[in-house]
Amino acid sequence: MENLSTIIINQKLQFSSSDFVFEWLKNNYKILSNLTVVESENLFTMLLDRNNQLINLGIALYCPDQKLCSKLFSISDENIKKALLSGIGVTGQRLLYSWIDDYLEDLLSNFNEDLLAILLNNKNIPDRTLISLFEKKKQFKNIDEVKWITLCHYAARNERLTTPYESNSLDSLIQYNRVFESAWRLFELFPTTVFSANVLSVLGENLIVKKPYGMDVEKTIQRWRVEDQDPELFEHVREIVARLNDNGSDEFERYKDSDDVALRRNYYSNFRFPKVENIREFFKKDGDVFLDAALNNRLIFANPKYRDALREVCLEFKDFDDLYNYKFGQQQRKWEQLHPEWFECEVSGDLPYEEIEDNEVRLELRVEHLSKKVTELHKALLDIKVHDEGEKKTNLNYIMCELTKISHKLTTPPKQTNIPLVFFIGIIAGYLLSKL
């Protein structure tokens, strides 16, 4: 027997516009998942009886009912089949059954690449299906090598491969990580061809790093040392495999002195706790190879000393005009958005503050930004809008840092000193001293 809320939902969807029904199905997956078998059958039978193309598309994309998805796939046209294969219904019971199990062998035997590509790129695909693909087992056991690599290519950009685990269950963690481990095994299993290297370079770009048990990383790196065809592509594959060695390991530390540029590039992208002089040393050794890698090293941008050192060598490198200065600015703006706390002593904006050449403009912009911080500090000290002690300390530290920098800039003032500016700084300094 249906409960009252389900009856109300049925009535509402029966007489609503197709646009409304589609959006409702899209936004109420949890409600649909909790329906009883009878409730689900009644709801979707009613919706299918409306015989509306948009509603049918919504059912295909958002229906979790395994029996209905299987039935729809068997009777529908190509467009609805594509929607079903890209929908949430393929998840099924992740460890037990998905309706797709009934059709996968037929899809593989016919090798309908359009449908297979959609399925294997669906983040909701059961983990066991991806594992079977990467391990070439079960339904994938008898497909030939070229088709196997092609199918792995279809799965290479699946969002599931870039999504870390977010649960407390140890049992499901083992299964969840097995997807990553089986994907990394492909670097051991694929033939060392250009086709394979292209697939692995895409697959490994953002693949969660999870080293398979017993995998010989160094041996795997060496098998991809192919010199007679597309060396840059094979370098990239070796660089990806090298990520499996933790950046605190002895193996990783040896990469900085390797004769393989791919391993040095991996080191530059991931090294921790450098010295400022290391940045200049590595730059002299590898030039733009170092810069391209170091610009992707988040640990450099997290530390002002390393960040400034990298900015300096980017400015010095003139082989491509100001390309690397531009790249540095791009990366800094990206990290400013993701981690503003890394840049508490820098003025955000379209350009890094230190790149503003005019001394007076630089001072005025810094003071303008400083005045905003003083307003925030005033509120914090009066406990008006800001109640967090950490934020108070952050504001204080920021302003003292700004004052230090401005003071340094004023030690060699321009010919026409901006008296009001200096006066304003003095007021701020006095204010701070009275509050500290």
Give the per-residue SS3 of the chain: CCCHHHHHHHHHHHHCCHHHHHHHHHHCHHHHHCCCHHHHHHHHHHHHHCCCHHHHHHHHHHCCCHHHHHHHHHHCCHHHHHHHHHCHHHHCECCCECHHHHCHHHHHHHCCHHHHHHHHCCCCCCHHHHHHHHHCCHHHCCCCHHHHHHHHHHHCCCHHHHCCCCCCCHHHHHHHHHHHHHHHHHHHHCCCCHHHHHHHHHHCCCCCCCCCCCCCHHHHHHHCCCCCCCHHHHHHHHHHHHCCCCCCCHHHHHHHHCCCHHHHHHHHHHCCCCCHHHHHHHHHHHCHHHHHHHCCCHHHHCCHHHHHHHHHHHHHCCCCCCHHHHHHHHHHHHHHHHCHHHHCCCCCCCCCHHHCCCHHHHHHHHHHHHHHHHHHHHHHHCCCCCCCHHHHHHHHHHHHHHHHHHHHHHCCCCCCCCHHHHHHHHHHHHHHHHHC
How sure is the predictor about 80, in pLDDT bands with cuts at 50, 70 and 90? very high
Q: Which residue has the higher pLDDT, 368 or 295?
A: 295
The rounded radius of gyration (Å) of the Cα atoms in the chain is: 29
Q: What is the mean pLDDT of residues 26-30?
A: 85
The pLDDT, as a whole number, for residue 382 is: 56
Mean pLDDT for the stretch of residues 185-201: 96
Angstrom distance (rounded) from CA 195 to CA 254: 30
Cα distance between residue 408 and residue 358, in whole Å: 15
Q: How many angstroms separate the CA atoms of 341 and 339, rounded?
A: 5
pLDDT at 416: 46
Whole-number Å distance between alpha carbons of 55 and 20: 9
- pLDDT tens for 149-174 read 999 999 999 999 999 887 766 657 88
* Residue 428 confidence (pLDDT): 57
pLDDT digits (tens, 9 = 90+) for 237-292: 999 999 999 888 889 989 999 999 999 999 999 888 778 888 999 999 999 999 99
As a whole-number percent, the residues of the chain with pLDDT over 90 amount to 41
The full set of domain ranges for the chain reads: 1-99, 359-435
Main-chain dihedrals φ then ψ at residue 97, nearest 5 degrees: -150, 140
Residue 54: C-alpha distances to residues 39, 170, 297, 413 (Å): 22, 41, 46, 69
Burial of residue 84, with CB atoms counted within 10 A of its CB: 0-12 exposed, 13-18 middle, 19 or more buried:
buried
d(CA 2, CA 38): 8
**Tens digit of each residue's pLDDT (9 = 90 or more) over 127-150:** 999 999 999 999 999 999 999 999
Q: How much is the average pLDDT of 368-392?
A: 55
Task: Check: pTM over 0.75? Answer yes or no.
Answer: no
